[in-house]
């Protein structure tokens, strides 16, 4: 009985896995076949790269890739600097009003930047950052989530190390840079993976703030490319989709363990 | 001596605020000020060239409450949340229990469950277009094997929202699974051994021991899922654009449409405030109630 139920469970687990992965596998397969072969499930049909050629010629993909790459880099650098400083202040510096300000910061976890699109758009325009990569990135740099994560990481650093560095004549900044930052390396890595994959995939805000191919990230480019008005056929859309998810997907498959660990570390305090 | 302590304290205070200032400035510019500005502008009429905008109190809110589309969108979002939250949590739990048990091809199973999480919502929507397209789509092709008629999943009001919901669940479940997996790995082995000695079945063990121990994780995931049910709307842009007849329109999409397609910022602001109020209540419950009740370390 137990053996039977175990087999059934294994079957269930595998079946769900196959169902879960099938949209991706199917789109991958379709991207390498002509549309008529793809929609007719012609399994024996020859493989072709034509869809990729058509898709590649249909939009400035290279530019989109570069834009997305810049965007995630700018955001990550901004987040590292800002959340390190703020996290350190919350973890290790005593100052009046600290707890109150920390609660304000935590509130931002629920004031989603996505919901404030109208006023954030006004703010970005006022700052003259409309249609710039900096404008896309800025609202995400002072991430409450990141500040919280860094605070937790810095809190775990033993005070003896701090004091030892001080005795050696390190100033505040030196202590932060030489003691805390190196010790929090796993947290930085985790945060980086979560941040990069979030912003690589972000869509609504970049859609609003960008207005030209020079700043548009991949997701926005992909949505414009695949819009029904453009009448692009489905195999070509699949090819474009595969192209734009490939870097992150390959990185994920290679560094799967680190990715999963990162999401865990970031999610569970 | 007391002077010395005082100076040190003042130094720390200055230091703290200097370290905090970049974050404080950005949070003010992109979270706190915009929230207040949204609240403020929700009390004003939309300015036109002939009539400048003026203070109208709660009129924008009253307009919303008498707007059938608003109620349609709210209902849609409630269904969206009411289905995606429990279903993706249940699937995530099942996935985690399976991915944690000793089954063959466990690596493949885990990867398959988690992979949708790393895709952009836009890409996910493109993948699912293949399934939903009438006539050519995978669903129709499978249906036609059984002699079922072609269904325009995205093009008819009865199914459009459900098609959107399925994509969200597909995208979310694997992400939540990760948190359950982590929690499962912290459950001590001896509990399982004790249950075995007592002769408890696997089902009893799961129901009586594992599930209660997963409660804090479930609450954590629930808050995340709730936030996602407001935030995850990217696929609407590809799949349905909120149609047909607003059948699949969700709140955030409606806000976007009002502000950036109809240029009606005041009503968009009023709606934003309502969303913030709901999120604020959720935050209040989370911080005051749940965190106290489920904190064990």
Q: Do A89 and B16 touch (CB under 8 A)?
A: yes
Residue A230 has what pLDDT? 63
With contact defined as beta carbons under 8 Å apart, do B105 and A10 qualify? no
Residue B241 belongs to a domain with what CATH number?
1.10.3720.10
- Three-state SS annotation for A91-147: HHCCCCCHHHHHHHHHHCCCCCCCCCHHHHHHHHHHCCCCCCHHHHHHHHHCCHHHH
Banded pLDDT at A75 (limits 50, 70, 90): very high
B66 to chain A, closest Cα gap in Å: 22
Q: Do A110 and B227 touch (CB under 8 A)?
A: yes
Q: Do B123 and A21 touch (CB under 8 A)?
A: no
Banded pLDDT at A83 (limits 50, 70, 90): very high
Complex-level ipTM beyond the 0.90 threshold: no
Q: Is residue B63 part of a domain?
A: no
Q: Is residue B27 part of a domain?
A: no
Among A18, A32, A204, most B C-beta atoms within 10 A, so best to mutate, is: A204
Q: Do B112 and A86 touch (CB under 8 A)?
A: no
Domains annotated for chain A, with CATH where assigned, are 60-267 (1.10.3720.10)
Q: Is residue B20 part of a domain?
A: no
Residue B212 has what pLDDT? 86
Residue A266 has what pLDDT? 67
A83 contacts in B (CB within 8 Å)?
23
A85 closest CB neighbour out of B23, B31, B98: B23
- Three-state SS annotation for chain B: CHHHHHHHHHHHHHHHHHHHHHHHHHHHHHHHHHHHHHHHHCCECCCCCCCCCCECCCHHHHHHHCCHHHHHHHHHHHHHHHHHHHHHHHHHHHHHHHHHCCCCCHHHHHHHHHHHHHCCHHHHHHHHHHHHCCCCCHHHHHHHHCCCCCCCCCCCHHHHHHHHHHHHHHHHHHHHHHHHHHHHHCCCHHHHHHHHHCCCCHHHHHHHHHHHHCHHHHHHHHHHHHHHHHHCCHHHHHHCCCCCCCCCCCHHHHHHHHHHCCCCHHHHHHHHHHHHHHHHHHHHHHHHHHHHHCCCC
Total count of domains within chain B = 1
A111 closest CB neighbour out of B35, B37, B119: B35
A223 closest CB neighbour out of B101, B174, B237: B237
Q: Do A204 and B15 touch (CB under 8 A)?
A: no
Residue B185 sits in which domain range?
68-293
Residue A216 has what pLDDT? 92
Among B23, B94, B196, most A C-beta atoms within 10 A, so best to mutate, is: B23
Q: Residue A249's closest chain B neighbor by CA? A: B118
Q: Is residue B58 part of a domain?
A: no
> Residue range A231-235: average pLDDT?
74
**Is the CB of residue A254 less than 8 Å away from at least one CB of chain B?**
no
Q: Is residue B4 part of a domain?
A: no
A130 burial (CB, 10 Å; 0-12 / 13-18 / 19+) is: middle
A174 to chain B, closest Cα gap in Å: 14
Q: Residue B8's closest chain A neighbor by CA? A: A94
- Alpha-carbon distance of A80 to A72, in angstroms, equals 12
Residue B256 has what pLDDT? 93
Q: What is the DSSP letter of A47?
A: P
Return residues 179-198 of A near B (CB < 8 Å). Answer: 197
Q: Do A245 and B120 touch (CB under 8 A)?
A: yes
Tell me the average pLDDT of chain A.
86
A104 contacts in B (CB within 8 Å)?
27, 32
Task: Please give chain B's pLDDT, 297 residues, in tens.
Answer: 567 778 888 888 888 889 999 999 999 999 889 999 999 988 988 877 777 778 888 888 988 899 999 999 999 999 999 999 999 999 999 999 888 888 888 888 888 998 898 888 988 988 888 788 776 677 777 777 777 777 778 888 888 899 999 999 999 998 899 888 888 888 888 888 888 888 888 788 888 888 888 888 888 889 889 988 998 888 899 888 887 888 899 999 999 998 898 888 888 999 999 999 998 888 888 777 666 554 443
Mind listing the pLDDT tens digit for each residue in A4-57? 877 888 888 899 999 999 888 888 888 888 877 777 777 777 788 888 888 888
Q: Supply the pTM of this predicted model.
A: 0.88
B105 closest CB neighbour out of A14, A30, A219: A14
């Amino acid at each position: 009985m137990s053996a039977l139920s175990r087999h059934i469970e294994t079957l269930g687990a595998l079946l769900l896995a196959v169902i879960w992965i099938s949209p991706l596998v199917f789109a991958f397969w379709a991207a390498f076949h002509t549309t008529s072969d793809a929609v007719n499930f012609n399994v024996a049909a020859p493989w072709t790269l034509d869809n990729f050629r058509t898709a590649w010629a249909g939009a400035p993909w290279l530019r989109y890739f570069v834009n997305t790459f810049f965007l995630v880099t700018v955001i990550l650098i901004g987040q590292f600097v800002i959340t390190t400083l703020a996290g350190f202040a919350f973890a290790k510096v005593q100052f009046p009003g600290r707890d109150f300000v920390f609660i304000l910061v935590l509130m931002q976890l629920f004031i989603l930047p996505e919901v404030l699109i109208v006023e954030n758009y006004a703010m970005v325009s006022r700052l003259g950052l409309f249609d710039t990569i900096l404008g896309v990135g800025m609202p995400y740099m002072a991430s409450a989530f990141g500040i919280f994560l860094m605070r937790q990481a810095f809190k775990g650093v033993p005070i003896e190390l701090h004091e030892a560095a001080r005795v050696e004549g390190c100033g505040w900044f030196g202590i932060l840079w030489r003691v805390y930052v190196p010790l929090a390396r796993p947290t930085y890595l985790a945060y980086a993976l979560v941040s990069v994959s979030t912003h690589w995939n972000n869509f609504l805000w970049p859609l609003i703030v960008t207005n030209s191919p020079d700043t548009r990230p991949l997701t926005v480019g992909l949505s414009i490319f695949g819009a029904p008005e453009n009448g692009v056929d489905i195999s070509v859309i699949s090819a474009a989709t595969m192209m734009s998810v490939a870097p992150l997907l390959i990185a994920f498959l290679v560094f799967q363990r680190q990715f999963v660990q990162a999401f865990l570390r970031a999610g569970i305090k | 001596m007391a002077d010395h302590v005082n100076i040190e304290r003042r130094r720390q205070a200055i230091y703290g605020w200097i370290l905090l200032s970049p974050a404080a400035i950005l949070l003010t510019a992109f979270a706190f000020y915009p929230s207040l500005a949204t609240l403020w502008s929700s009390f004003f009429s939309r300015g036109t060239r002939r009539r400048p905008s003026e203070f109208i109190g709660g009129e924008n809110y009253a307009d919303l409450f008498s707007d059938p589309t608003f109620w349609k969108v709210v209902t849609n979002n409630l269904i969206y949340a009411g289905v995606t939250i429990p279903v993706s949590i249940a699937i995530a739990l099942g996935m985690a229990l399976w991915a944690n048990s000793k089954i063959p091809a466990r690596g493949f199973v885990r990867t398959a469950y988690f992979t949708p999480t790393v895709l952009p919502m836009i890409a996910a929507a493109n993948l699912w277009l293949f399934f939903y397209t009438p006539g050519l789509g995978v669903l129709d092709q499978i249906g036609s094997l059984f002699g079922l008629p072609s269904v325009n999943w995205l093009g008819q009001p009865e199914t459009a929202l459900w098609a959107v919901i399925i994509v969200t669940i597909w995208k979310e479940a694997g992400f939540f699974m990760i948190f359950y997996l982590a929690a499962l790995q912290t459950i001590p082995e001896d509990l399982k051994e004790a249950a075995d000695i007592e002769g408890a079945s696997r089902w009893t063990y799961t129901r009586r021991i594992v599930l209660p121990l997963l409660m804090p994780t479930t609450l954590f995931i629930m808050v995340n899922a709730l936030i996602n049910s407001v935030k995850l709307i990217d696929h609407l842009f590809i799949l349905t654009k909120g149609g047909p007849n607003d059948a699949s329109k969700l709140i955030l999409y409606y806000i976007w449409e009002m502000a950036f397609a109809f240029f009606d910022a005041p009503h968009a602001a009023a709606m934003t405030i309502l969303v913030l109020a709901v999120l604020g209540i959720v935050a209040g419950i989370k911080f005051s109630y749940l965190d106290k009740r489920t904190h064990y370390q």
